[in-house]
Amino acid sequence: MTLAGTARAQDMPDGSDLARRAVHVCAACHGEGGRSTTGAYPSLAGQPAQYTARQLMDFRAQQRAETDSKAYMWGVSALLDDATIQSLAGYYAAQTPPAGRSKAPPAVLRTGQRLFEEGMPARGVRACASCHGDKAEGAAGFPRLAGQHAGYLLRQMQVFSTSLRPHGVLMKAEVAGLTPGQMRAVAAYLQSL
């Protein structure tokens, strides 16, 4: 498994030696090719490069402070210069994202789909698709959510209602109008895509 990760990192088209080594380090948590196998860590495969670069820069500047990742990500990202961050972001953007899967009941998935596609205008909640794309594929500064672990997505929605994600001003307003059950439904639906 280690050799497969190293071979993929070596195939990085414009990456420095540091970027190639970083891909190998990232795989320990985010999986080979950025396809995480555990809900504790997000999948990076298929994320828009602009989004991934911004997150790494935020970790490096110690502006993302979620307790479950800050100690490690602050340290790792401190070693990355801007060029390496851009190489990593491009590498992960080019990787094949994980396939959707979900064990949630159909009624929960329907609720999540409705919220994702339509939002709740009466409560000031916009459709998630309006920023994240019709198929949650992400766009520019907005992350790919399709196929992401539901547990990870739920934790991030909860974190947006705190000061731990300062660049999440837009999301702070969106999650304020959602109940915990609605957040779980959206997360389950997104994992299924």
User: Are residues 16 and 86 located together in one domain of the fold?
Assistant: yes
Q: What are phi and psi of 12, to 5 degrees?
A: -60, 120
- Three-class DSSP category at 53: helix
Quick one: 12 and 88 in the same domain? Answer: yes
What distance in Å separates the CA atoms of residue 14 and residue 19, rounded to the nearest whole number?
9
Residues 117, 141 within the same domain? yes
Residue 3's pLDDT band (cuts 50, 70, 90): very low
Identify the pLDDT of residue 7. 38
Q: Are 50 and 140 in contact (CB under 8 A)?
A: yes
Q: Report if residue 82 sits inside a domain.
A: yes
The mean pLDDT value for 51-66 works out to 90
Looking at residue 162, what is its pLDDT? 80
The token pair that represents 159 in the structure block: 């974190």
pLDDT confidence bin for 1, thresholds 50/70/90: very low
Of 100, 99, 123, whose CA–CA distance to 113 is shortest?
Answer: 100
Comparing 5-9, 62-66, 133-137, the range with the smallest average pLDDT is 5-9
Tell me which of 70 and 193 has the higher pLDDT: 193
CA-based diameter of the chain, in Å?
53
Q: Kindly state whether residue 100 falls inside one of the protein's structural domains.
A: no
The reply to whether 74 and 129 lie within a common domain is no
Total of domains in the chain: 2
pLDDT of residue 8: 52
- What DSSP designation does 91 have? H
Quote the pLDDT of residue 18: 81
Q: Taking residues 41-67, report their average pLDDT.
A: 91
pLDDT of res. 6: 39
Same domain, 119 and 155: yes
Q: Examine the domain organization and report whether 7 and 87 are in the same domain.
A: yes
**Which residue range is the domain that position 181 belongs to?**
106-192
| Whether residue 126 is found in the same domain as residue 60 | no
Domain shared by 89 and 119, yes or no: no
Predicted pLDDT at 14: 58
Burial (CB count within 10 angstroms: exposed 0-12, middle 13-18, buried 19+), residue 191: buried
Average pLDDT over residues 48-61: 94
Q: 146 with 78, same domain?
A: no
Burial of 82 (0-12, 13-18, 19+ CB in 10 A): exposed
68 and 114 in a single domain? The answer is no
Q: List the structure tokens of 79.
A: 């070693």
The pLDDT tens digits of the residues spanning 82-139 come to 999 999 999 999 999 999 998 999 999 999 999 999 999 999 999 999 999 999 999 8
Please, what is the Cα angle at 98 between 12 and 60, to 5 degrees? Answer: 55
pLDDT digits (tens, 9 = 90+) for 9-53: 555 545 578 888 889 899 999 999 999 999 999 999 999 999 999
Q: For helices 49-60 and 82-93, what crossing angle results, to 10°?
A: 140
For residue 99, tell me if it sits in a domain: no
Q: Tell whether the model's pLDDT for residue 66 goes beyond 80.
A: no
CATH code for the domain in which residue 44 is found: 1.10.760.10
CA end-to-end distance (rounded Å), the chain:
27
